[in-house]
Structure formats: C-alpha cells, structure tokens
Amino acid sequence: MTPQPDETLKFSHSEARLFRGIKLRDGAEEVICDRMVVQRVTGDEHDLIVYERDGKRIVGRITQIMVVSTATPAVPGSAIFKEHVEDVPLDDEREFLDTYDQFQRRTFLTGQK
C-alpha cells in the first residue's frame, strides 16, 4: 500500500507531495527527514529529501542504484537495488527549498536556512 502524503500542493507548473518524519540510515546514525516528491507538468519527477546538517537545511535527490555481484563457480551472480542520496546543484536546491517552504506542516522551518 502506497503511503498517503501529509500534504499536497498544486501549482501551475507542478504538484508537490510531502511525507514528514521519514527515517533514513546514514551509516550507524538514523536521520529524520521529510520526503518531497515534485512532479512537473513536463513529466519530470524529483524524489527528494530535506534534512538538517550542522543547522542548515539540505536537499538531496533519492536515486536507485543497482549493486551487481559477479557469479563464481560456487555462487550465482545477483543484483540488488538500493536507494542512494545524491547532492542537488545549488540552484535546484534553492528552487526545491522555495517549494518546501510553502508546505504548512514541514519539519524544517525557514528560519533554519
């Protein structure tokens, strides 16, 4: 079952959905973030997280990576998919934070930039 967003905003150029309080692992540490999915009318979809590091709000792009292990005579090869967080270019980060700031129920407020 697909989780329902905590809030949805519709703009003339896109729709943004917010999922609050998502827990992600960063090594041994657990990070709380908000997940934001931005669907543009052009068809582009951006799966993002907003979190705080050193008192600053950060936007990361969630991508899937495939990890392939090569087959050996004793073990068959395999492939697994993992989610990975990539940095977002500064101009895109500003745009996504502007969208994020329009949500009433966001976790990380504007004053924390």
Whether the per-residue pLDDT at 111 is higher than 60: the answer is: no
Is 86 contained in some domain? yes
- Which domain range does residue 101 map to? 7-108
Question: Burial code of 84-100, b = ≥16 C-beta within 10 A, e = fewer?
Answer: ebeebeeeebeebbebb
The C-alpha atoms of residue 9 and residue 111 are separated, in whole angstroms, by 21
Is 16 contained in some domain? yes
Whether the per-residue pLDDT at 102 is higher than 60: the answer is: yes
Is 1 contained in some domain? no
Percentage, residues of the chain above pLDDT 90: 54
The count of domains in the chain is 1
Determine the pLDDT at residue 90.
Answer: 92
pLDDT band at 101 (very low <50, low <70, confident <90, very high): very high
Segment 35-88, tens digit of pLDDT: 999 999 999 999 999 998 888 999 999 887 788 888 788 878 888 877 778 899
